[in-house]
Chain A
Amino acid sequence: MAREKAKRGKVSMYRNKRQMELNSVEVWDGNFANSHALRQASVDVVSAYPITPSTGTVEGYAAHNANGYVDGEMIMTESEHAAMSGCIGASAAGARAATATSSQGLALMVETLYQASGMRLPIVLCMINRALAAPLNVNGDHSDMYLANQSGWISIDACTPEESYDLVLCAFRIGEHLDVRLPVIVNQDGFLTSHKAQNVRPLSDDQAYDFVGDYKEVNSMLNFDKPVTHGVQTESDWHFEHKAKQNAAMMASPKVIEEVFEEYAKISGRKYNMIETYKTEDADIIIVCLGTTYQTAQVAADKMREEGVKAGVLMPRVFRPTQLDMLAEKLKGAKAVVCMDRSAPGGQTGLLYQDVAAALFNTSARPLLSNIVYGLGGRDINIENLKSIYTHAKAEVDAGKLDGAIQRFVGVRGPELKYYSVEG
C-alpha cells in the first residue's frame, strides 16, 4: 500500500482519517496547541526526543496518535540530533515532517539544522524557548532562538498558545511553498506560553487541513522513476551557488509569508504581520522585543501614555529573515528605540539591537538606540520593570543623549552593568 502510494509520487495525499471534534474555544497551553496544529496538518512523520519545556508538544501529539487520531508515524529517537535527522530523512523521502525541542536539544540539533535548510526540506520545528546551560536552567529566554539565527531556518515568534497554534499551521504552508522550500521554526516562550493554559479558538480539522493542503513533494527519494541523491558533497565548484540559491529563497520568503498570513486571516479572523506593532505610529519611545514581553510591554506602554509619555512596542513576528526596510519604516519616527534582548550577549550587542541598528543606519532617522539585556533564565520582567525602562529612555530623550552606554543589564542583582560607553 505504501509502495503504491509512493509509486504515484503522492506519499501524503491523505488527511488523517479520524477527525476530532473541537469546541469553538478550547483551553490549551502552548504545547498542547502545537500538538493539535501538528495533528490537523496530518504530519506524516514526527521524529522527536523529549526536553523540558517542549515535551508537552510531542506528548500531546503522542496521545493523539495513541488515540487513533493520527495516521502518520511517530519515531522516538535517542537524541535531538537523531530526532532532526529522522525528520530530514522523512522529508527527503517525500513526507511532511515536524518535531519540537528546546535549549540544549536545539544546541544538539544545530548540525542537522544546517543540513535541513541546505537540503531545502520544509520541516517544521516547534521551539519552546529556554535558556542554554550552564548553569542548567529550564526556564524561558531566547538564547536557543538566537542560536538558530544563522541556520537558514525561517524563524517566527508566537506570544500565546493561540498564536503558536496559528503559526504552526501557517509554517507548513510557508515552508512547503514551491518558491520557499525552507524549514520553519515557530518559537514560543518556555513556561510563560508553553505551560500557561489560555483560550485558543481552533479551526475545525477539515478547515485546518484544507488551509495547509496536501504535501507537495520536490525531488523526493521515494519517486522511483527519478532516482535522486540528497546531501551531496559540492566543494568549491558548487557550494557558493547552492548557498546563494538557498539565501535567495529565504529573502524571497516574506512575499509568501504575507500571502499565507493574509489567507489565514480570512479563515480565522486573526491577522499576523511580518512586524507587529502597538501604538508605534506616534510613539516617541519604542521598545523592540520578542515573545511574551511584547504583551507585557503593551500594558506598560498604555500606562506610560496615561502619564503623558508616547510609548510604543514593536515585535518582529518573523525574526528571520530580517526585514530591515520594514523595521526602518516603523521606527524612523521615534526619538528613542530600546532593543530588549533576552539572551546572554556573549561579548556583543543583542541581535535585536544589531537588526535595528542595521535597519536605521542607512536612513536619516537617528533615534537614541540602546540595548537592554534582561530576563535571562526566565528572570521575571513585569509591567513596573518595563515602565522603568520607558522612564529611563524618556530621561535619555530629554537629555538628548544616552545614559553613558549602549548596553545595559536590567534586573540583575549586584552593581550596575553597562557596556559600550558613548559620549554625548
Chain B
Amino acid sequence: MAQHKDFVNNLYKGKEHFENSIFDMGWDEIVQGAAVFSFEGEIDHTVVNVHPEDRNVAETNSQNKYVGDWRVIKPVWNVDICIDCQNCWLFCPDSSIVSRDKEMVGIDYDHCKGCGICVEVCPTNPKSLIMFDEHIKNEDALTQWPEKKQKEEK
C-alpha cells in the first residue's frame, strides 16, 4: 500500500491531499461504471463566474492531474514584451495560459503539453512567448531572448 501511495503522490504533485482518496478505495466504494465527477457535490450555473482555481473540483477532475511531463519543449513568457493581447489565452487548446482581468499572469506548466500554438499566435516583435528546451531554466531562457527584428529597407 505504501508503494501504491508513492505512485499516487507522484501523479498528484503539489496538490493537497484528499480525504478518502479514490486511490485508497476498494472495489465496493468506487463509483460504478467508472463515471467520474468534475466537482465535489452539486453545482449551479454561477460556477462560470468562479475562477478555475477557486472551484470546488473533485479529486478526479483533470485540474488535479499533473501532465507536465508529457512536454519536451516549453513556452517561456517574457513579461517585458507582452502586450496582453490575449491571443495565446484564446488559442491555447489546454487552458494553460493563465490570465486575469485581461492581463496575462503566466503559464500553467502542470497542464501545458508544449504544443507551441501560443508562440505561433504571439504578435509582438520579438515574440513574448518562445519555445525552449524543457531542461533550460526560465531565467536562463530570458537572457537568450532575441533582439527586435528590423525591417529591411526597400
Contact = CB atoms under 8 A, between A and B. Distances in A.
A96 interface: no
B35 A232 contact: yes
A104 B26 CA distance: 38
Given A227-B43, A245-B28, A237 B7 contact: yes
Nearest to B43: A225
A226 interface: yes
Contacts of A232: 34-36, 60
B91 interface: no
A241 B27 contact: yes
B42 A226 contact: yes
B25 A228 contact: no
Contact of B27 (A118, A119, A181, A242): A242
Contacts of A248: 27-28
B80 interface: no
A229 B36 contact: yes
Contact of A242 (B30, B41, B44): B30
Interface string A199-235: 0000000000000000000110000011111111010
Interface residues of B, number: 24
Interface in B36-51: 36-39, 41-44
A311 B96 CA distance: 73
Contacts of B31: 219
A227 B39 contact: yes
Contact of A181 (B22, B26, B32, B43): B32
B30 A238 contact: yes
A227 B25 contact: no
B22 A238 contact: yes
Interface in B1-45: 4, 7-8, 22-23, 25-28, 30-39, 41-44
Given A219-B33, A237-B7, A238-B30, A228 B43 contact: no
Contacts, number: 71
A229 B32 contact: no
A364 B43 CA distance: 59
Interface of B: 4, 7-8, 22-23, 25-28, 30-39, 41-44, 60
Contacts of B25: 241
Count chain A CB atoms within 10 A of each CB in B30, B36, B60 and give the residue with the most.
Answer: B36
13 contacts: A118-B34, A119-B33, A181-B33, A225-B43, A226-B37, A226-B41, A227-B38, A228-B36, A231-B34, A232-B35, A232-B60, A241-B26, A245-B32
A27 interface: no
A121 interface: yes
Contacts of B22: 238
A241 B22 CA distance: 11
B44 to A, nearest CB: 7
A225 B59 CA distance: 17
Contact of B42 (A225, A240, A245): A225
Contact of B38 (A118, A219, A228, A242): A228
